Amino acid sequence: MMMATCRIQRDFSLKDENSLRLDVSSKYYVIVHSVAELKIILSNGIVAANKVFILGGGSNILLTKDYQGVVLKINIKGIQIVYEDDQYVHVEIGAGEDWPSVVEYVVSNGWGGIENLASVPGTAGAAPVQNIACYGHNLHETLLSVDAINLANGFKKTFSADECDLGYRTSIFKTKLSGQYVIVSIVLKLNKFPVLNTSYKSRYESVENELFKIGRPPYNVKDVYQAIVNIRKRKLPDITTVGTVGSVFKNPLITQKQLAKVKKLCPDIHYYPANHLIYTNINCNSGINDEMVKIPAAWLIEDMGWAGKRVGNCGIWKTQPLNIVNYGNATPEEYLSFINMVKDAVFNKYSVSLYPEAVIV
């Protein structure tokens, strides 16, 4: 008999389930709290007969219309040590665990590896799908493995980090295996003797400058964590009060020929190697001979004078132009129209195409 917590709800409002707070609904909606519940629900006739969308924290999705299928909310919790030696600790984390709380837990134990990923909204299960990255660290540097359930047959498979095919804001779960698996847990390899990464710097700020405000070296993992939290609080909208999907656009990859044209309009713009996933102390504006380079999308938007621009219920966050927010009652059509306006403006001025980072449903 199906457990009560697996009850399928019909015509369910998703307004409080997506951080952008768009008022859309799902034909069917169900929350699962364990792998056992998940296997039960996958055998249900309604689920088997409909398309399924996996929902974590709802912070990196753009719901463009009512979903005519099953939204499967993953709420599998639990954090446990599965291996430990003198140097490292391997921690298994349920896919439904809140990612900011996971980082806080890890840092409170003095373990290093994800402190630079502090305050990234979402769940642990969503982290490898997107290969979350910020302030000098990418998840692939710490991820050991992912356990996932095949939606078609209910079988569990363990993917090594290499098998996840993690890249810039992507993974095998967004490409070859999109819609085929649901992640139920991840395992991270954390260092008991943290090697701090304080190399991140942007146009206006750096981790090292923030650390200097906090105290004096030698810094520890908790200091780096607090520095990241401080920067994010100043720079980004509060997800609890402002509708935001996070960064809407990826940083574009362009040719050296395109870069030369962009630099005529933005002489000081930073650029990086195309495969630059890990921040180091390289001089980002020299010594790059690759045909393709990566540039900051936020720089282009700000350079147009669009930081803080608002049209109706939608606007660009002044201190982080990659955040396009819903100030009130934006409809999906209104929001899509606004981001397309941004894309068109960037292309018309710089001949650079912007592509979404958020998952558009």
Q: Is 357 a catalytic residue?
A: yes
Give percent helix, percent strand, percent coil of the chain, each to the nearest 5: 25, 30, 45
Q: Is 247 a catalytic residue?
A: yes
How far, rounded to the nearest angstrom, does the alpha carbon of residue 20 sit from its chain's CA centroid? 14
Q: Which of the residues 37, 97, 210, 357 is marked catalytic?
A: 357
Q: Which ranges constitute the DSSP H helices of 266-350?
A: 297-303, 332-350
Q: Which of the residues 26, 171, 247, 302 is marked catalytic?
A: 247
Q: Which of the residues 169, 185, 210, 302 is marked catalytic?
A: 169
Q: Is 312 left (phi over 0), alpha (psi -120 to 50) or beta?
A: left
Among the listed residues 122, 130, 75, 131, the one whose alpha carbon sits nearest the alpha carbon of residue 103: 122
Distance separating alpha carbons of residues 189 and 164, to the nearest angstrom: 16
Supply 236's token pair.
């980004």
Q: Is 17 a catalytic residue?
A: no
Residue 311, classed as helix, strand or coil, is strand
Strands 359-360, 61-62: parallel, antiparallel or unpaired by DSSP? parallel
- Residues serving a catalytic function are 169, 247, 357
